[in-house]
Each structure stands twice: as C-alpha cells, then as structure tokens.
Amino acid sequence: MREVSTVLEVREVRKSYEGASLLRGISFRLARGETACLLGPSGSGKSTLLRIIAGLEPAEAGTVMWEGMDLAPVAPHARGFGLMFQEYALFPHRNVLENVAFGLRMQNLPRAETEIRAREALARVGLADFSQRKVTDLSGGEQQRVALARALAPRPRLLMLDEPLGSLDRGLRDQLLADLRRILALDGTPALYVTHDQEEALAIADRLLLIHDGRIQRSGTPAEVYADPGEAWVAQFLDMGTLVQARVIRSSPLRAQSELGVLAPRCTHTPHAIGVNLTLLVRRAPLTIERTAHRRYNVVRGIIQEVSFRGDSYRATLDSSTHRLAFDLPHPAAPGTALSIHLAPEAVLCLK
Amino acid sequence: MSEVTVEKRDWQGREVLRWTGRAVHIDADEILLEARFARPTLRLTYLTLAQGDRMLEHYYTRRWYNVFEIYAGESSQLKGWYCNIARPAHMHGSLIESEDLALDLFVSPEGTSLLLDEEEFAGLPLSCDDRAQAAAGLADLQALVREHRPPFEALAQQGRPLDRG
C-alpha cells in the first residue's frame, strides 16, 4: 500500500562540501498528504538536501524521484514545488489579495476566478478579512500567513518549508504551527518541513526524519521516535534524558551494572551476552519517587540540585555523585533533598 | 537554502555580470528573486540606485523580458521598475541565465515610461526572429504597464498616494 501512495522518493543521495562529506547516502519516501520534518542541528545538511530536492543543486550520487520519475533532468521551475522560507519577501506595494494572487497569475485564469482562489487561500490561513489591507501594515505573523497563502494558492504538488517560522516569537509560532498542520491536512498537500527546533518538529510532523552526520539517524512518527530513539545522538538531540554507560551482568531478564547502580533496560534488539557494554537512556519521566529503596535495580539516589517549574511538572537536576540527571517530577522538591528515584520499567532504554 | 546566482549575458551569450539573490518563488513561468544592489551608487537621470537597494527581480521562462522592482534600501518606497528586454530566462540548478538584448524600459512609480538604449538595440546583428520577439516583448510590457497588470499593479493605486517609506 505504501508503494502506491509514495509521491517523493529520495534514494541514496550524496553530496560533499569543500571536500567534506555532507550527505552520506540519504534515503526516504514521502507519501501523499504526509508532512515529513527534516530535523537536525545547523550544519547537518538538511537545507542542502532541500536544495537538491528543489533542483537548485545537483546531487553527486543518488536520485530524487517524483511518482517514479527521475527529477535530475527537470529544472527547478518545472518541478511544480512550492517554497516557503523564513525570508518570504512580500510585495510592499500590493495589497494582501494581490500578494496571494501572485502565485496564481500564470495559470491563465479569468481575473474573477483568480480572485476567488486567492480569497480561498486567504480564508484557509485565517485572513479572510484582510484582502484589501496593505502588507506593510500587518504584523510579522500576519505577513507570514500571507506568504503561506501565496505558496498554497497555486496548489503545489509538494510544499517545501525551510525554517519558515524562525523569526517569530514562541506564542505566535505555536499558533501558526497548529494552523499550518490543519491546513496541510485539509489540503492533502505533501510537505517537507526543515527545522532545527525539536518542539516545532513535533508539532508539525506526521513523520520525523532526524538528520545528523550526513545520515538519517532515525525516522518515524514522533511517538515512535520518543518510544525508541534508537541512536544515542537522537536521544541527546531530543533532550530525552541522561545517557549512562553500563555492562551486562545478566542477559535474561536483562540487567546491567552502571555507575548509577543496577539497571533493567528495555531492549528491542537481540539478547546481549554477559559482559557486553551498553549505552542506556534514563528518561526524565515517568518516574515514581520514594525515600527508601525496596528494589535492587532501577533505583537512582542523589541530591536535588536545581528545580524549575515547567507548568505541568518540575524539572529537577539530581546529583548522583557520578552523573547529573535531569528528571521531570510531579511534585516540587527542595534543593539539597536526598532522593531515591524508582525508575519505571519504560524509563530505562537500550540505545545503539 | 534559497540562494541563487544570476548570470547576465549579452546577445552572444557572453557573461557580462553576475550577482546572487534569494529565490522567493519558483514556478514553471517565473522565478522571483530578491537581491540587493551591491555596486556603488549609480546616478542616472531618471533613477538613482544606491548600494543596498532591494530588488525584486522577475525572470520569465517564456517571455522576452525581465522586470526588476526597485525599493529604496529596507523601506517600502518604490523607486520604479527597470525592465530588460532579454531572451526567455533559463534556470539550471541555482543558476539563472538571462541573455540581454540591450533594449530597456524604465517605468516610474507614477507610471511614466522611458525607453532606453534603442540605438544600441538597433545596432545589434540580431536575427529577424530575435528582433521580432524582442519587439513583441516590449509591446507586451508596455501593455502591462498601461493596464496596470502584474507586476505593475501598484500603478493602479495612483488614486491613493504611494507609500513614500
């Protein structure tokens, strides 16, 4: 079934920059109606990958295909892809409607039809009443919506967004993200969204593609990635908890000795022999806290260092003498308090 | 992400000038990019271009001209439209190639047009077809200006005062 709905396929794309390997064999597929988010730190090559897909740069190896057709010979302007960037350059001398109609002007529609479509696009971004306003009178968030309506109006077969909300403050960004997600779902327009911001990626993505070191380190729905980050880098980049080195002391059920004590990690890969070294993730949550230890494993003892309020929980740093661990606690704890934290079974995970 | 290079060529395809800008919109018929005037101040009788002036450059893939909307620096003050009669633009990767045929049209924010370099154009040894296409391109441009059609919609706002930044 997945074969049928694939629209974009990127296969083994490679690219180097100034002699260094930037993309080392990137492969992924995008299904019709899907929003995939390329998430990675700056310099990870995600914008270069977007340029290659847009046709602005050639790949050194590999292919980019649209519905099974190799796009290599297709010029950027013939690909039918819509673009939206952080710097979106509206026309200051055109009103909102005229700016949106810009994306439609070449479709040879009667003027009335163009206006209807431009108004529809404006309504979708929540600016139905703004059509005659000057863009220079709009707020940053409103201008961004106009740019989005302009990109959506011609109904591109793929929408590519590169850090489109980078310049907006957090509250505005959250609102625009929710709107964008709703609009993309409603339109069924497949989208590739590039960002370095984890929260933005989680809010917008049907599927995350985590890119680092020229490779896609992990791909999956946000829930899948959070359930099993797989790579240590992914867990660190998503700030999921603390990484701990351990050595297997019992293979079934799995127990590993670490500087935090004996841990019972969940592990999705093959059974480990005694003596094997593992990298474990100790999640920030969920946890149970008790002041005395009843178990011989998954108990972390330490002194609370710092506590900050996070709205629905308290982010605490626990000093275990060998590690500083971050936890999200349901209740406040005073700095200096000695705590034994009982980790829930799903809070300790095996990484690659 | 969106950086592109423009290569302006003469009628024989020899490179004259190149500059970089950022693609704002790309579709089958048009590439719109934003660039800054990077050379020292250029004083012409009808227009002064200052370093940092913002250009919204329209390149058309099927039309025999391109149009630069010129704004003063960061402001929204429109200085006018500089239109180059040129062969249809080609885009290869991030390179936009534009072969210029010397003839230019400047349109002021008030809508007055000035035809430039007619003699130079007349002196180019162009084929009959090129010359006819260029003439048709110019006529097309002049009609857009007259009728306030894109990218000259701002002319329709003559009733209301243009933003002077």
Q: What is the pLDDT of residue A286?
A: 62
pLDDT single digits (tens) B26-52? 888 899 999 999 999 999 999 999 999
Mean pLDDT of chain B: 92
Among the partner residues B26, B34, B78, nearest to A77 by beta-carbon distance: B26
Q: What is the pLDDT of residue B158?
A: 60
Helix (H, G, I), strand (E, B) or coil at B89: coil
Length of chain A: 352
Beta-bridge partner residues of A70: A65
Mean pLDDT of chain A: 90
Q: How confident is the model at residue A293 (pLDDT cuts 50, 70, 90)?
A: low
Mean pLDDT of B79-87: 98
pLDDT single digits (tens) B59-78? 999 999 999 999 999 888 99
pLDDT single digits (tens) B150-159? 899 888 876 4
Question: How many angstroms separate the Cα of A291 from the Cα of each of A259, A338, B84?
Answer: 20, 8, 79
Q: What is the pLDDT of residue A281?
A: 96
Q: What is the pLDDT of residue A175?
A: 86
pLDDT single digits (tens) B125-135? 999 999 999 99
Q: What is the pLDDT of residue A272?
A: 85
pLDDT single digits (tens) A327-343? 888 888 899 999 888 88
Dihedral of alpha carbons A285, A288, A289, A294, sign: negative
Whether the predicted pLDDT of B164 surpasses 70: no
Q: What is the pLDDT of residue B154?
A: 85
Residues A22 and A214: beta-carbon distance below 8 Å:
yes
Whether the predicted pLDDT of A314 surpasses 70: yes
Among the partner residues A80, A85, A92, nearest to B163 by beta-carbon distance: A92
Whether the predicted pLDDT of A93 surpasses 90: no
Among the partner residues A51, A85, A89, nearest to B56 by beta-carbon distance: A89
Among the partner residues A57, A91, A106, nearest to B27 by beta-carbon distance: A106
CA of B61: which chain A residue's CA is closest? A77
Look at strands B95-107 and B3-9 and give their pairing. Answer: parallel
pLDDT single digits (tens) A236-277? 999 999 999 999 999 989 999 999 999 999 998 777 899 999
> DSSP class of residue A133?
S
Element (H, E) at B146: helix B128-146
Which chain A residues touch B67 with a CB distance below 8 Å?
A: none
With both helix axes pointing from N to C terminus, report the angle between A170-187 and A140-152 in degrees, rounded to the nearest 10: 20
CA of A162: which chain B residue's CA is closest? B1
pLDDT single digits (tens) B99-116? 999 999 999 999 999 999
Name which residue leads in pLDDT, A7 or A172.
Answer: A7
Helix (H, G, I), strand (E, B) or coil at A14: strand
- Asked if B94 and A93 come within 8 Å (Cβ–Cβ), the reply is no
> Which amino acid does the sequence have at A104?
L
Q: Would an 8 Å CB–CB cutoff place A164 in contact with chain B?
A: no
Q: Residue A147 — left, alpha, or beta (φ > 0 → left; ψ -120 to 50 → alpha)? A: alpha
Report the complex ipTM. Answer: 0.85
- Minimal Cα–Cα distance from A106 to chain B, Å? 7
- Minimal Cα–Cα distance from A74 to chain B, Å? 9
Mean pLDDT of A278-301: 79
For testing the chain A interface, which of B24, B68, B95 should be mutated: the one with the most A CBs within 10 Å?
B24
> DSSP class of residue B125?
-
Q: How far apart are CA B88 and CA B99, in angstroms?
A: 8
Q: How far apart are CA A262 and CA A192, in angstroms?
A: 43
Q: Would an 8 Å CB–CB cutoff place A83 in contact with chain B?
A: yes
Which chain B residues touch A92 with a CB distance below 8 Å?
A: 71, 76, 78, 163
Helix residue ranges per DSSP H, chain A: 2-5, 46-54, 96-101, 111-124, 140-152, 170-187, 198-204, 222-227, 232-237
- Asked if A87 and B157 come within 8 Å (Cβ–Cβ), the reply is no
pLDDT single digits (tens) A147-195? 999 988 888 999 999 998 877 788 888 888 998 899 888 888 999 999 9
Q: Would an 8 Å CB–CB cutoff place A157 in contact with chain B?
A: no
Q: Please state the pTM of the whole predicted model.
A: 0.88
Name which residue leads in pLDDT, A102 or B96.
Answer: B96
Whether the predicted pLDDT of B161 surpasses 60: no
Percent of chain A scored above 90 by pLDDT? 64
pLDDT single digits (tens) A9-47? 999 999 998 889 999 999 999 999 999 999 999 889 999
CA of A80: which chain B residue's CA is closest? B27
Among the partner residues B2, B150, B153, nearest to A85 by beta-carbon distance: B2
